[in-house]
Amino acid sequence: MHKQTVSTRNEALEFARRTRRNLEFIENAKEKGADVHAVTHLTVSLLGLVVFPKEKLLLDQAEQKNLADMQAEGWSGWTITLDDPAKPTKTLADILRHLRNAVAHGQLTFSSDSPLLEEVTIIVEDKKRREHAQPYWCARIDGVALRSFCLHFLDFIDNTVG
């Protein structure tokens, strides 16, 4: 008898798949008139997408994916408004590192409380140390582009470690 492998939320791939299903559920509920916030859920999804996974294969592949290629492949982009001159943002891995730090330390600001993706811009900041008041990296993305980024990243996870 073969032992069946069960995927758990402790695995990056399964956590990402569950994140996608939850996002689709929230979006469907919104379309049916439910008082839910897709922007809030996308932000919460970042936990499952960029903070939680520590798969080496995923991170190695993210180092190989440069921002120009991502843009050419249709990934909606981040507008980087402040970059670290010592280590400029060039790859998906760089974006993930800054996002991980920002999400983990609550360095996200929203342009409005609107539940509509197209009415919200998210500003993400990364700071070297808490005692430093100024960020050394800052980017912005609108809600629609964040959704696109999350869906592309979910596909990237699935194709890389799936």
For 16-42, the pLDDT digits (tens) are 778 788 888 888 888 898 888 878 877
- pLDDT < 50 positions in the chain: 1-5, 9
Residues 6+ apart with CB under 8 A from 44: none
Distance CA 9, CA 48 (A): 9
Let me know: does 124 contact 77? Beta carbons within 8 Å: no
The pLDDT of residue 66 is 93
Task: List, in sequence order, every beta strand (DSSP E) within the chain.
Answer: 79-82, 108-110, 121-126, 137-142
